[in-house]
Structure 1
Amino acid sequence: MAGGPAATGGGIGADAPKNKFAGILMTCFAAFGGILFGYDTGVISGVKEMTPWLCTFGETTTDLDRHPSGCFIGSSTESLVVSILSAGTFFGALLGSPVGDYLGRKWGIVLACLVFCVGVVMQTAATAIPLFVVGRVFAGLGVGLVSCLIPMYQSECAPKWIRGAVVALYQWAITIGIFLASIVNNATKDMEGHTSWRIPTALQFAWAGILALGMLALPESPRWLIKRGRDADAARALGRLTGLPATDPVVELEIADIKTNMRAEAEMSGSTYADCFKASKNRMGLRTWTGVLLQGWQQLTGINFIFYYGTTFFRNSGIGNPFTVSIATNVVNVVMTLPGIYLIERVGRRKLLLYGAAGMCICEFLVAIVGVTISTDNLVGQRVLIAFVCIYIAHFAATWGPIAWVVCGEIFPLNIRAKSMSLSVASNWLWNFAIGYATPYLVNKEPGSAGLEVKVFFIWGSTCLGCFLFTYFFVPETKGLSLEQIDMMYTLTPPRQAGPVRKRLMAEDIHASDSQGMDKTDIHHEDNKV
């Protein structure tokens, strides 16, 4: 990979001092925000199956064969409770742009934690569905802000040679959050009274508090400070992240390069929401649509069907202990994210996305086929079904889980990064909401529902085929490039032809200030030398 003390954009290269790792640890800590995201996503899967919660917020029934607890919630209420979080996160993600641009990336994350805590208070104190639902909305606003601002903060602060792995840690934290939720749910599910569901709900205060206090000690994004005209503060922040004095020539060169690229971006496109979709020289419209659709496709892999409705799905499929199986699937999700973090800077973003989409497609079709050809009493068949679900989760965890966030954190220019990132993350949550709301109607065998049950995996398998085709045509390889170099690459070539451009940018360590007068002809003419 390209290195050297003057590596631009993504941070200082291989010749930086050894204490540069202090800056890496800072940006890694920001990934803790994924715990909020993952825990809040995963906790509802178990909480809504607990008898005290069902009897508090649901209805009573005499049909003990279908509802052994004597209480239940209908498809409409279940859809509302699960999916309303995603409605809140959709608007929280859209707010990520003005909050991130006005308050900054750091203080925007702190504000998100406070909003999230308001939602947790409402959910913990609720004794009726309306207050619980409103609490889910406020928690969603906080999670939406976090999910937009943290990958953006990490991408702007991490060194380019490890940027992908650092941002991928955010997805790993999400998986840890989901896993922690399943552990806590399993530990409290048999408790008497409201404590069974209030303990896992209230525990979210701890995650928000750790993130907020930690962010207070971290520097602001140097790129945001430069965008606000605070060059001296940017130099100090960059100095903290690199372990160099603010007056060091390497830091000064980095600051100058970011400013040069920012001026070039301003000349090619504006900074409004309309500019995000314009067919400009630097392909801003294509880049925004790539981020928006990439996040949408990530949700259409069907992964949140397992984490929102996994406990219910396994129970209906004849699995004896669905809570235990849900813990097992979450272990797979956590563990298999680690190979993705390792491989993202070695194999690359594009190849892993293609491999992951193909693997998920095959596994989901196999789950659907096994599910429709065996009975719920077939123990061997149930084990095969669980095995393929776990293999499917492993493919997602190592590829589409972390890499969608990495790519969206990298491909947008600074002048509209917050806006394009917020639109992309909002797309994630819009599809999350749609899938969360529609799934009970697709899966449940109740009047007014489609009753697909395991056959829903035929749908997810088909959408994973769409993931493969989308990646092949629209996602370029960005491994080893600084954020400014990625901007140059988009200016010089469309995504499918980006390979030679990327090779030259890396081989010659071309900077924004070096690229004046360079065009596509120059790149391809020199390709044979690379």
Structure 2
Amino acid sequence: MRWYQYFPSPCGYPSKDHPQVENIEDPAASSNNAPIAFLNEQISYGKCGIRGVVQSPYIFGVAFLASMGGFSFGYDQGVISIVNVMSQFHEAFPRTETAFGKGFMTGMLELGAFIGCLFMPTLADKISRKKALSIVVVIFNIGAIMQTAANSYGLLVAGRTIGGIGVGTLAMGAPIYISEIAPPNLRGTLLVLESVSCVPGVVVSFWITYATRHLPGDLSFRLPFGLQMVCSTILGIGIHFFPYSPRWLAPVDR
């Protein structure tokens, strides 16, 4: 018998070569040369892929949270690209017209994301994935508010940095939590969904800034900056409708 025949199919279907897992009532009583069965019965996890995602409100909710995390990251990456070419933005922040000023302001988001990724694992292990993500959403929204209300180049850069810390930890923490509460047969699908949703986030940010580019005054770029908070707030609220991660509960004896 081959090794993979001891394990159930991840999508709930039996192996073609060996449809049933061999059962041994007392593995300790078997000889050293006899194969040991790890399971007494076939376990069915349900359907895989998109069919599995839409089969229950719980799974669909997890998928929705996954998409919100990736969408926020993609939106934050894309919104600055069109804002950077708006004449209204350059009038409000003249330093962004220079190559260094524009690059420094844009790149601080990535630096903030790098910093956020460093402390997210420790924070998630200490206070739980759910609470860590809630704190991250607050940090991200503070950065978005600073960008929206900025009246100087320095405040804008600070907002981009703080927002980067939030979006970096969000992009790292959300997949961790989702993978730990998702059924085994859907973990891959949900994690891919989190990554793929970055692209719609970028696309939506492009169209929003395209639509606001002719608005008078600062509203043309402040509105797209402010809309960054929508998806992150949905994620921060929605996560409280889901359980704590079992992988976090086990080490803390809960």
Native 8 Å contact 2:10 2:184 kept in 1: no
- In structure 1, distance between residues paired with 2:253 and 2:83: 48
Compute the displacement of 1:4 (Å).
4.8
Pick from 166, 182, 185 the counterpart of residue 161 of structure 1.
Answer: 185
Aligned length: 213
SS of match in other structure, 1:136: helix
Tell me the equivalent position of 2:46: 14
Counterpart of 1:29, as a letter, is F
Tell me the equivalent position of 2:228: 204
Tell me the equivalent position of 1:241: none
Native 8 Å contact 1:12 1:160 kept in 2: no
- In structure 2, distance between residues paired with 1:129 and 1:12: 57
Native 8 Å contact 1:12 1:159 kept in 2: no
Q: What is the percent sequence identity of the aligned residues?
A: 32
Tell me the equivalent position of 1:28: 63
Give the 5 Å matches for 1:294-313: none
Counterpart of 1:46, as a letter, is I
Q: Does 1:215 align with 2:239?
A: yes
SS of match in other structure, 1:192: coil
Compute the displacement of 1:223 (Å).
1.3
Tell me the equivalent position of 1:53: 89
- In structure 2, distance between residues paired with 1:176 and 1:12: 33
Q: Does 1:91 align with 2:115?
A: yes
- In structure 1, distance between residues paired with 2:59 and 2:133: 18
Counterpart of 1:47, as a letter, is V
- In structure 1, distance between residues paired with 2:138 and 2:204: 21
- In structure 1, distance between residues paired with 2:81 and 2:137: 22
Residues 1:209 and 1:3: Cα distance change in structure 2 (over 3 Å): closer
Extract unaligned runs of 5+ from structure 1.
60-71, 231-530
Q: Does 1:117 align with 2:141?
A: yes
Pick from 170, 175, 190 the counterpart of residue 214 of structure 2.
Answer: 190
Compute the displacement of 1:112 (Å).
0.7
Tell me the equivalent position of 1:77: 101
Runs of at least 4 residues off by over 4 Å: 3-7
- In structure 2, distance between residues paired with 1:87 and 1:73: 21
Please give the TM-score of this superposition, normalised by the length of structure 2: 0.77
Counterpart of 1:44, as a letter, is I
Native 8 Å contact 1:108 1:145 kept in 2: no
Please give the TM-score of this superposition, normalised by the length of structure 1: 0.38
Compute the displacement of 1:126 (Å).
0.9
Pick from 148, 153, 158 the counterpart of residue 172 of structure 2.
Answer: 148
- In structure 1, distance between residues paired with 2:57 and 2:69: 19
- In structure 2, distance between residues paired with 1:43 and 1:12: 43
- In structure 2, distance between residues paired with 1:219 and 1:34: 20
SS of match in other structure, 2:56: helix
Compute the displacement of 1:162 (Å).
2.2
SS of match in other structure, 1:162: helix
Counterpart of 1:160, as a letter, is P
Counterpart of 2:87, as a letter, is T
Tell me the equivalent position of 1:108: 132
Native 8 Å contact 1:23 1:158 kept in 2: no
Compute the displacement of 1:83 (Å).
0.7
Tell me the equivalent position of 2:73: 37
**Which whole-Å deviations, capped at 9, do the CAs of 1:194-227 have from their partners, x for residues lacking one?**
0000000011122222111111111111111112
Native 8 Å contact 1:92 1:141 kept in 2: yes
- In structure 2, distance between residues paired with 1:208 and 1:154: 15
Compute the displacement of 1:3 (Å).
4.8
Native 8 Å contact 1:37 1:177 kept in 2: yes
Counterpart of 1:119, as a letter, is G
Compute the displacement of 1:141 (Å).
1.0
Counterpart of 1:24, as a letter, is I
Native 8 Å contact 1:154 1:166 kept in 2: yes
**Which whole-Å deviations, capped at 9, do the CAs of 1:283-318 have from their partners, x for residues lacking one?**
xxxxxxxxxxxxxxxxxxxxxxxxxxxxxxxxxxxx
Residues 1:3 and 1:201: Cα distance change in structure 2 (over 3 Å): closer
**Which whole-Å deviations, capped at 9, do the CAs of 1:233-282 have from their partners, x for residues lacking one?**
xxxxxxxxxxxxxxxxxxxxxxxxxxxxxxxxxxxxxxxxxxxxxxxxxx
Extract unaligned runs of 5+ from structure 2.
1-8, 14-37
- In structure 2, distance between residues paired with 1:211 and 1:30: 6
Residues 1:3 and 1:174: Cα distance change in structure 2 (over 3 Å): closer
Counterpart of 1:113, as a letter, is V
Residues 1:185 and 1:3: Cα distance change in structure 2 (over 3 Å): closer
- In structure 2, distance between residues paired with 1:53 and 1:2: 52
Compute the displacement of 1:172 (Å).
2.3
Counterpart of 2:186, as a letter, is I
**Which whole-Å deviations, capped at 9, do the CAs of 1:423-467 have from their partners, x for residues lacking one?**
xxxxxxxxxxxxxxxxxxxxxxxxxxxxxxxxxxxxxxxxxxxxx
**Which whole-Å deviations, capped at 9, do the CAs of 1:409-435 have from their partners, x for residues lacking one?**
xxxxxxxxxxxxxxxxxxxxxxxxxxx
Counterpart of 2:196, as a letter, is W
- In structure 1, distance between residues paired with 2:78 and 2:72: 10
Give the 5 Å matches for 1:304-343: none
**Which whole-Å deviations, capped at 9, do the CAs of 1:62-120 have from their partners, x for residues lacking one?**
xxxxxxxxxx6122111111110011111111111111101211121111110011111
